[in-house]
A and B are shown apart, each in its own frame.
Chain A
Amino acid sequence: MNALIFNAPVLLIAIPLLGAFAVPLIGRISVPLRRIFTGLIALLTTACAGLVAAHVFTSAAPITYVLGGMATLPLGMHFPIRIILEVDGMSAFMVILTALVLITAIFYSFPYWRRRSGGNMYEALFLLLGAGIFGMELTGDLFNFFVFLEITSIAACGLIGFRAWQGKSQEAAFKTMTLYTVSGLFVLLAIGLLYGEYDGLNIAYLAAHIGGSMVDKIALGLLLTALAMKAGAVPMHMWAPDAYGEAPAPIAAVLVANSQASLYGLFRVLFTLYGLTISVTALGWILITLALLTIFVGVTMALIQSDIKRLIAYGAVSQIGYMLLGVGVGLATSAGHQPFGLVAMQGGIFHMINDAACVGLLFLSAGAVIRAAGTRNLNRMGGLGHDLPWTAVFFMIGSFALAGIPPFNGFASKLMIYESTFRYSPILAVIAILGSILLLAVFVKVFQSAFLGPRLGAPAARPSGWMFAAMGTLAVVVIAFGLFPGFFVHTIVTPAAKALWMGRDAYIGAVMGG
């Protein structure tokens, strides 16, 4: 058992990676067997995620895992040259989030993808994407971060363009792949700059030596642009609505988790790698500006959409803004350590998991709606509430949570963001609240046109067992996080926020010692 806990961080990457390459082989033998195998891999991954999170939240310091030999260094080297996984509170939080989204999306996929061919490749790419996201969240090495970033890019774009019989999906996949690749190359260029200056790739080692020179600032600019682009922040959001809108519904849910992994990378770079060596107030305001733009553009573009998936996609883009807003205020106040800065951090980070759950729920129920209605155009669907009462309830829960209505989870995190940003600058809270109200208006419109009114044509097909179970699980999570926010903030969010906000020395010390 101890060995299992000790090796859990690397198993979390290894299990889905192994699964991804075994799935096509098993699929050649038998399709039901392949589904059982994929389900097992997903369950094992989730169990590992739970182990990692439980271990990190109970231990005081970040845990490190050294690949390839013991932690001691050969030949009297003074800096770590091994590949290191480093898991602190923030990584553990992201791991929980990703595992939640992955397990619901894979079980939803089984009936969703049943009647189509290509299930082998679909499940293989799905598990590969999962392995990439976990890798980004666990690694303690900048170059490995780049490699996992590219793994998620390739797997995600393969899945976005999976429906090759539709021209639109190819267009979205090409666009997304172009931007993902450019952002990946920017990250690599920044890594090259940092390596050239400090002779190291380990995040803790770099953080201990970084001085804030001009080269560091150029590298930071490249990393900020690239990771904000991959997270889908306005004005680099062009790919996001296309990708979320054209990807199969469960993949859209996973893409949200993927964007948040990039956001995690951005926070890791800002708080842990650079910390106070740069002007945190200026950078905080850059994040806040990006956040306000993202909220505003996301919500207003959602208003004019008539395609249900594209509409939810813009809603998802606007939510990235709330996370950036909370963490931006946290970053701006991290030098002075004002207490409301920590609340803003908690709000922004809590909103990540809330957003993953409620946007995931919305995408999954939109998938069920599209399957039942046979169209994605809101003007041509209606009366689905008669045949899909539970899907209607799930959709309503998801949209209320997204708009920040109590007692759902979106309210809990948005309230924290409003309160703390108001203390920093009232106008921020006003814009954030305005965005939420507009979002509510958008989703009332969607609900009315999709579910209410008389039946159109023949009775619609109900979602089958696993799809229902997946949506139900996310709905339960949304309600549980909304009803008991205090418990979840205390157990998982506060360690994550503290790890970023004041855990830089602990993160460095875990690798460099002392």
Chain B
Amino acid sequence: MIGNFPYIIAILLVILGIYALLFKRNLIKIVIGIDLVETGVNLFLVTLGYRNSGIAPIYTYAPKAKPMVLPTPQALTLTSIVIGLATTALLLSFAIFIYRHYKTLDVNKIKELRG
């Protein structure tokens, strides 16, 4: 049970993020929601590669006969974090431009594009 704890946290973060996406009306909070989903997914990936009492996967100085954590999910997570940075920056810059045009961040008040 305790071994599954990180997975539960990861899925909880994803669900929280999706909740924020669906029910929050402030653009910044929507961006935070996306960040939460992303964090949840990243945590999930890192957890996948974790081995109990494992060591860092560096061959040169590794002591013999100790399990290593998987390096691939860490590489995936690193890539995903970089992509997440780009998307968050882009989303926030759109939010800034929207604020300049409409003087509000409330989704309900920005409705030029409907129907």
Q: Could you tell me the distance between the alpha carbons of A171 and B97 in the complex, rounded to whole angstroms? A: 9
List B contacts of A171 (CB < 8 A).
Answer: 98, 110, 112-113
Q: Which residue of A lies closest to B86 (CB)?
A: A154
List B contacts of A150 (CB < 8 A).
Answer: 83, 86-87
List A contacts of B101 (CB < 8 A).
Answer: 166-167, 170
B41 with A168: CB separation less than 8 A:
no
List B contacts of A185 (CB < 8 A).
Answer: 34, 37-38, 41
Please classify the interface of chain B as helix (H, G, I), strand (E, B), loop, or mixed, using the class held by over half of its residues.
helix
Q: Could you tell me the distance between the alpha carbons of A317 and B34 in the complex, rounded to whole angstroms? A: 25
List B contacts of A182 (CB < 8 A).
Answer: 18, 21, 34, 37
Q: Could you tell me the distance between the alpha carbons of A4 and B73 in the complex, rounded to whole angstroms? A: 34
Q: How far is the CB of B33 from chain A (nearest CB, A)?
A: 9
A174 with B98: CB separation less than 8 A:
yes
Per the 8 Å Cβ criterion, residues 7-62 of B in contact with A are: 14, 18, 21, 27, 30, 34, 37-38, 41, 44-45, 48
Per the 8 Å Cβ criterion, residues 238-261 of A in contact with B are: 242, 245-246
List B contacts of A191 (CB < 8 A).
Answer: 76
Q: How far is the CB of A503 from chain B (nearest CB, A)?
A: 28
Q: Could you tell me the distance between the alpha carbons of A192 and B38 in the complex, rounded to whole angstroms? A: 13
B41 with A174: CB separation less than 8 A:
no
Per the 8 Å Cβ criterion, residues 159-210 of A in contact with B are: 161, 164, 166-168, 170-175, 177-178, 181-182, 184-185, 188-189, 191-192, 195-196, 201
A153 with B76: CB separation less than 8 A:
no
Give 1 or 0 for each of A425-466: 1 = CB within 8 Å of chain B CB: 000000000000000000000000000000000000000000
A192 with B41: CB separation less than 8 A:
yes
Known interface pairs A178-B91, A192-B41. Does A168 touch B112 (Cβ–Cβ under 8 Å)?
yes
B48 with A177: CB separation less than 8 A:
no
Q: Which residue of A lies closest to B38 (CB)?
A: A185
Please tell me the size bucket of the interface on A.
35 or more
A177 with B91: CB separation less than 8 A:
yes
Q: Which residue of A lies closest to B102 (CB)?
A: A167
The 4 closest A-B pairs by CB, nearest first: A167-B101, A174-B94, A170-B97, A150-B83
**Interchain residue pairs with CB less than 8 A apart (24):** A147-B79, A154-B83, A154-B86, A154-B87, A154-B90, A157-B90, A158-B90, A168-B113, A170-B94, A170-B98, A171-B113, A173-B94, A174-B94, A174-B95, A177-B90, A178-B30, A178-B91, A182-B18, A182-B34, A184-B83, A189-B44, A196-B48, A246-B113, A304-B115
- Using a CB–CB distance below 8 Å, which chain A residues touch chain B? 143, 147, 150, 153-154, 157-158, 161, 164, 166-168, 170-175, 177-178, 181-182, 184-185, 188-189, 191-192, 195-196, 201, 242, 245-246, 301, 304
Known: A174-B98, A195-B48, A201-B72; 4 extra A-B contacts, CB below 8 A, are A158-B90, A177-B91, A181-B38, A192-B41
